[in-house]
């Protein structure tokens, strides 16, 4: 109960400082409701947004505004329902997902809130919105247990600054804001899929040298060099560094689940050459590229673990 109370206080205070939906480009009736909302006339704003939602039930912006109004009035249940409907209309609406997560968290539905915040990270949104979702995840998600699978990492690996510095070490051309965004995503998704982030760093260095826009001759894209068909199967935009990292980490985790956590070399070989090749040869395929790839990633991973 104490943890839940802290979460409620955190989320309420934080969302109060979060910008409400923009009225720019909205229809006149939504702009009227927004003006009433900004004046603190929430009941009148609610009446306007309710009328719009009834006449235009597939207007996602109207449902987001209605949800924000209910949220401001403390009606978390109806707010969550409004945001959920807006997300059904626009599954990648980052703003609706973010508010939905807040409403769910404040009403005590932490598991559902966690899912909503995770979906924000897969939506196209400004880096600030992704960072807000990551911060919210830190509050609503319980810490991993010691019994979780995968290699344990020392405390320093949780420092965003350390990974930001690593990213810029391997790619000095990375702008600081982008390097921080990459560091956040690398740490958060590594924790989500219970991977040692140093292994992910080693993979990204060998794959792309932390160059978000690099493309291979074969068509692989971005930090984790995802092939377009792999990105589509994972439901990510490979041109977005955050989504690319999510796809790469999830893809590696899938291979670890298939070949076993004690067979990191096989998981890496599958990442490079495909699962079918590893299964066909019952080990690392006899491809020079794949064998060199596995050697480089594991060698760098060993060096990073010694830091």
Tokens representing 273 are 């050459």
Query: 248 burial class (0-12, 13-18, 19+ CB within 10 angstroms)?
Result: buried
Question: Exactly one of 84, 207, 279, 282 is catalytic; which is it?
Answer: 207
Query: 32 burial class (0-12, 13-18, 19+ CB within 10 angstroms)?
Result: middle
For tokens 């990510």, the residue is 236
Separation of alpha carbons 266 and 238, rounded Å: 24
Whether 279 is catalytic: no
Tokens representing 186 are 């690398």
Tokens representing 232 are 């589509």
The residues annotated with a catalytic role in the active site are 207
């Amino acid at each position: 109960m104490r943890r839940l109370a802290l979460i409620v206080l955190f989320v309420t205070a934080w969302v109060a400082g979060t910008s409400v939906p923009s009225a720019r480009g909205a229809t006149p009736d939504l702009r009227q409701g927004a003006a009433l909302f900004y004046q603190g006339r929430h009941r009148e704003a609610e009446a306007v947004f309710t009328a719009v939602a009834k006449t235009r039930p597939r207007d996602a912006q109207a449902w987001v505004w209605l949800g924000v109004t209910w949220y401001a009035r403390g009606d978390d249940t109806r707010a969550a329902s409004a945001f959920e409907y807006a997300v059904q209309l626009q599954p990648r609406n980052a703003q609706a997902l973010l508010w939905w997560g807040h409403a769910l968290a404040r009403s005590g539905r932490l598991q559902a809130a966690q899912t909503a915040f995770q979906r924000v990270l897969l939506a196209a949104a400004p880096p600030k919105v992704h960072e807000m979702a990551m911060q919210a995840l830190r509050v609503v998600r319980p810490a991993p247990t010691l019994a979780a699978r995968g290699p344990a990492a020392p405390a320093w690996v949780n420092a965003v600054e350390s990974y930001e510095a690593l990213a810029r070490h391997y790619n000095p051309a990375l702008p600081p804001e982008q390097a921080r965004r990459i560091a956040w995503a690398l740490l958060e998704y590594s924790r989500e899929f219970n991977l040692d982030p140093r292994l992910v760093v080693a993979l990204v260095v060998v794959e792309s040298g932390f160059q978000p826009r690099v493309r291979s001759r074969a068509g692989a894209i971005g930090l984790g060099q995802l092939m377009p068909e792999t990105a589509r199967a994972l439901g990510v935009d490979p041109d977005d560094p955050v989504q690319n990292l999510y796809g790469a980490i999830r893809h590696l985790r899938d291979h670890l689940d298939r070949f076993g956590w004690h067979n990191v070399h096989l998981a890496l070989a599958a990442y490079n050459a495909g699962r079918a090749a590893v299964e066909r040869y019952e080990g690392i395929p006899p491809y020079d590229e794949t064998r060199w790839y596995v050697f480089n990633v594991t060698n760098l991973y060993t060096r990073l673990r010694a830091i």
